[in-house]
């Protein structure tokens, strides 16, 4: 299974190359919220996409028919398909699917429409309201735009949604149901209710005076996650078919697993049991010895429990090798994109394998005794890595692990 194209929209900007350059520079995309009044909010920072122009990706007349999360997904899909060189036509469209995970869906449009309804009644409700807010219209709009007639759906598994999208596409291609797929996640929840809901849970950082330093995974001073938005999508294809048409693989997906903690609605179980089991299952699915893994793109969100528990889970799976593993969190730069996080982090992991350079964990300043691994602190690092893992864990105990491989070392390449 090869990844032949990727697309990224994030708080670091619109465009894959721009995203990757800023990741390797260790840039933060977290800023003061500027799209709605929030002076009376306890949280006044977020990872907002700074430069997205919908009309660059969608006809002006169609913009009003789509929520922001759908627009982000369409842009990322166009990037990924363009890079892949995959031509979709009547002969192959039925064998190409689209699986895009979405967590909260069209919360921005829900807020706007509810206000319009209260102010002006039912006549103010757009006929496009429902198609704007439901999660499956992210992959649905992509399918209609590009003629993808294979299976099309939107996993809704909180912060694992995007990774579930990648994993289920991988499984469908491997099992022969599809030849190719566009997969990943999209989310746009930087809205009063999005910020307010997570703030009410006391899940968000309140480092309002230092936005760029607020997301600080593994650091002893972490005080909550930063809500972000965007999309990360990959074009995945059966390897031999991709090579036969002259594609240039970015990386391979070689293993996938999903499970559940069955423990708590928001908290992970002690010592990261579910996460550890998920990583083991994914390695088994890939037929891979843990000792072959050189890098982990961690799920860690910059919260006290999640960061310590994922560290413990990594130790359980890798034993003494955990001390030699490179582990980093790109959420330190993007914030937490909820349903889009797993898709975007799979994009970053694929690019790390392609370029043999590991993203940093920025804002790592004060070590935490419970988080004592190599977190690639504050600066990107050149590395010789053949296999990498991308983890995604979500509310409800849902866990996903993806195993990826450097493309140039694929068997027969």
CA atoms within 13 A on the CB side of 239: 16
Question: 242 near 2, Cβ under 8 Å?
Answer: yes
Residue labelled with tokens 């166009």: 78
CA distance 110 to 118: 12
Helix pair angle (192-200, 107-120), 10° resolution: 110
Q: For 221-238, b where at least 16 C-beta lie within 10 A, e where not — what string? A: ebebbbbbbbbbbbbbbb
- Is 159 marked active-site? yes
- Is 401 marked active-site? no
Catalytic one among 159, 278, 371, 401? 159
Catalytic one among 38, 164, 278, 336? 336
Catalytic one among 164, 278, 299, 401? 299
Most distant CA atoms of the chain, gap in Å = 64
Q: Which residues have CB under 8 Å from 80's CB, separation 6+?
A: 5, 6, 7, 182, 233, 234, 235
Structure token pair of residue 151: 């299976």
CA atoms within 13 A on the CB side of 280: 12
CA distance 142 to 88: 12
- Is 98 marked active-site? no
User: Which residues are annotated as catalytic?
Assistant: 159, 299, 336
């Amino acid at each position: 299974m090869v990844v032949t194209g990727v697309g990224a929209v994030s708080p670091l900007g619109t465009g894959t190359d721009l995203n990757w350059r800023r990741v390797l520079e260790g840039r933060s995309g977290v800023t003061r919220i500027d799209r709605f009044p929030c002076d009376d909010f306890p949280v006044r920072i977020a990872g907002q996409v700074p430069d997205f122009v919908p009309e660059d990706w969608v006809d002006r007349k169609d913009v009003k028919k789509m929520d922001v999360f759908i627009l982000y997904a369409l842009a990322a899909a166009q990037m990924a398909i363009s890079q892949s060189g995959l031509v979709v036509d009547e002969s192959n469209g039925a064998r190409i699917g689209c699986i895009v995970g979405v967590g909260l869906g069209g919360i921005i449009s829900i807020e706007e429409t509810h206000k319009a309804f209260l102010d002006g009644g039912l006549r103010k409700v757009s006929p496009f309201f429902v198609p704007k807010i439901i999660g499956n219209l992210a992959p649905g709009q992509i399918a209609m735009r590009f003629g993808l007639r294979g299976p099309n759906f939107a996993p809704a598994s909180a912060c694992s949604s995007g990774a579930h999208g990648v994993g289920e596409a991988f499984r469908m291609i491997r099992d022969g149901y599809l030849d190719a797929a566009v997969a990943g996640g999209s989310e746009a929840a930087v809205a009063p209710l999005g910020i307010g809901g997570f703030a009410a849970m006391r899940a968000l950082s309140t480092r309002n005076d230092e936005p760029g330093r607020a997301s600080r995974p593994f650091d002893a001073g972490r005080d909550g996650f930063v809500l972000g938005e965007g999309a990360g999508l990959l074009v995945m294809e059966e390897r031999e078919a991709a090579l036969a048409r002259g594609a240039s693989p970015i990386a391979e997906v070689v293993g996938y697993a999903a499970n559940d903690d069955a423990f708590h609605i928001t908290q992970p179980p002690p010592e990261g049991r579910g996460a550890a089991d998920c990583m083991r299952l994914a390695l088994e699915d890939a037929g891979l010895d843990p000792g072959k893994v050189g890098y982990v793109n961690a799920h860690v969100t910059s919260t006290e429990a999640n960061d310590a528990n994922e560290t413990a889970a990594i130790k359980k799976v890798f034993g003494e090798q955990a001390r030699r593993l490179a582990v980093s969190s790109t959420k330190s730069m993007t914030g937490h994109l909820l349903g889009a996080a797993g898709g975007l982090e799979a994009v970053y992991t694929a690019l790390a394998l392609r370029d043999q350079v590991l993203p940093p964990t920025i804002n790592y300043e004060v070590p935490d005794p419970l988080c004592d691994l190599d977190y690639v602190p504050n600066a990107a690092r050149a590395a010789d890595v053949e296999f990498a893992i991308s983890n995604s864990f979500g509310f409800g105990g849902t866990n996903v692990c993806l195993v990826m491989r450097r493309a140039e070392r694929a068997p027969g390449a």
